[in-house]
Structure 1
Amino acid sequence: MKSRWNNTLLALVVLPAASVWAQEPHAGHGTTAADVPQHQTSQADHGQMQGMDHGDMQMQGGSAPTDARDPHAYSGGFTLDEGPYTLPGPRQLRLADEHLFGGVLVDRLERVDAGEGHAWVYDTRAWVGRDYDRAVLKAEGDLIGGRLEEASTELLWSHAVSSFWNTELGVRYDTGHGPDQGWLALGMSGLAPYWFEVDATAYLGEQGQTALALEAEYELLLTQRLVLQPRAELSAYGKDDAERGQGKGLSELVAGARLRYELSRQFAPYVGWEWAATLGNTADMVRAEGESTQETRWVAGVRFWF
């Protein structure tokens, strides 16, 4: 029995040592990595990789190639008018950003009821051009008693500077209260974080008058067809112009909301409410004429585009 225990103990000590010795590169009969079975090599490599520093490895989601935005970077040298698949004659393949597109949006066409009377208000824009550059026409105004009371028209050149923002440069012409007035316009429009549509424009007018107009709106989808659209406008002027009813500083604030039902994506009737107030020096001018500086309005109209 004692001899059996001694043999067992010897096997437990000697066999692991012999196994390690046999796997040494220079042990036995000159064993090399090529002599090691494939499954053993894979396990050894796996052990080395576990101890490896992965900091220098190129992982997915790293920096984009320097030519990632080059439309011809991965074309193998072919272009739209050269290569084995080019058709004879003028180039026939056209991409979307090479075509002229256009559209018209009537954002507001509504009847406004302020308690003492009503007016018709329009706010529309049209554009024609490509993805990056286009001509834009903006027009808004109101009619009272079938006569154009006030109107503002802008002709702008819009250029895309990012995926969600455009710069706008052009001219504006106002008619209505006081003498007509022309402006140079420079602004930004686009989609701010959290899906707010923003339009900010600075103006330089006649005799050095300056102005700033800010607009923001948000579309809250109550259902796939029922949309609530809060909206706010703020305007300011650089100096007093009593002849045109423009006071230095913040001039007017309009805030409200419209609830529309989209019979189709292109046509939607709506109802709404808004509050308007004149501010600062402009409010003083309004009071001097015996008019109210605040007004609550109920609106009903349609929004459509084509």
Structure 2
Amino acid sequence: MPGMDHDTRAPQQMPGHDMRGMDHSAMPGLQVAAPLQSRTPIAPLTDADRRAVYPSAAGHVLHGKSLNSFFLVERLEWQDAERGTSLGWEVNGWIGGDRDRLWLRSEGERTRGVTEHAELQALWGHAISPWWDLVSGLRQDFKPGTAQTWAALGLQGMALYNVESQVTAYLGEGGQSALRVEADYDLLLTQRLILQPSAQLNLYGRNDPQRGQGAGLAESEIGLRLRYELRREFAPYIGVTWNRSHGRTADYARNDGEPDNGARLVLGLRMWF
């Protein structure tokens, strides 16, 4: 084009601009290759590291063949009821591996030195997910009435929001059937002070006057217990429970001169080992 200088020689450096010391990696549009190795490499895991974590050199292998156990005295409590003071208990535990375990459950109540309710369950549990076990086995009732044996099938584990849950169906002698639903939740007020609401429902398939059990929803219990963990394995607690009989079960209780509902003050201990 007329008047334009088409000199193709290399451009001359402008006076006062020395570009030899400039960091070209910081210029936009230029990419630097990512490093292939960590600047602080992680050392490989050694047997000494494993021994520092586990008391045993072998440790606990997931789905291994090691035999473990856990037993929890959920409630060992003194109860102040209308009929007088009573002692109640609820114990459960297991022995086995990660997938298959023998579960043991027991609960009962003694009032004025007389056992009014006592039962023992032996269940085989199989893990069907990280949070749920399918259980089946036998339940033996010693009181009330004459002894009775049940076949049991249920599901137990942790529901949403960390609610510990149990749903167990029973088939007893003479065609009697039952269903028990239990749930409790630990609300941490502090690291040691824990409030535990709980609920239990018992349902039966038919009337059983000998044992004071009516068909349908028979009994319900709602509890609120506040415990303080002196140690994780040992915690005294205080609380209150609301017990109520329903339907024909309430009729049986009134006919025997017993209350069909009421609140109880409870004092107890919770322990595990």
The TM-score bracket by the shorter chain reads: 0.7 to 0.9
- Where structure 2 has 5 or more consecutive residues not aligned to the other structure, the ranges are 7-28, 30-57
Higher RCO (CA 8 Å, separation ≥ 6 residues): 2
Structure that is richer in helix per residue: 1
Aligned pairs for 1:1-306 within 5 A: 3-4=2-3, 7=4, 95-96=61-62, 97-306=64-273
Distance 2:102 2:135 in 1: 9
Q: 1:149 to 1:284 in 2, by over 3 A?
A: closer
- Seen in structure 2, the aligned counterparts of structure 1 residues 95 and 115 have a Cα distance that, compared at 3 Å, is same
Q: Distance in 1 between matches of 2:254 and 2:114?
A: 25
CA offset at residue 115 of structure 1? 3.9
TM superposition score normalised by structure 2: 0.77
Comparing 113-122 and 230-239, the one that deviates more? 113-122
Q: Report how far residue 253 of structure 1 moved.
A: 0.7
Q: Give me the whole-angstrom Cα distance separating, in 2, the residues matched to 1:3 and 1:103.
A: 97
| Alignment deviations for residues 101-122 of structure 1 (CA, whole Å, 9 cap, x no partner) | 0121100000000144110011
Q: Is the CA contact (8 Å cut-off) linking 2:183 and 2:199 kept in structure 1?
A: yes
Superposition CA RMSD, Å: 2.0
Q: CA deviation at 1:176?
A: 1.6
Structure 2 CA distance for aligned equivalents of residues 143 and 152 of structure 1: 12
> TM-score, normalising length from structure 1?
0.69
CA distance in 1, matches of 2:224, 2:176: 31
Q: Distance between the aligned counterparts of 1:94 and 1:108, measured in 2?
A: 30
- In 2, the alpha carbon distance for the partners of 1:296 and 1:267 equals 26
Name the larger-Rg structure. 1
Q: Can you list the C-alpha shifts for 1:153-208, whole angstroms capped at 9, x where unaligned?
A: 00100110000000110000112222211100000000001110000000000110
Indicate the SS of the match to 1:154. Answer: strand
DSSP-derived class of the 2:222 partner: strand
Change (3 A) 1:214 1:228: same
- Number of corresponding residues: 223
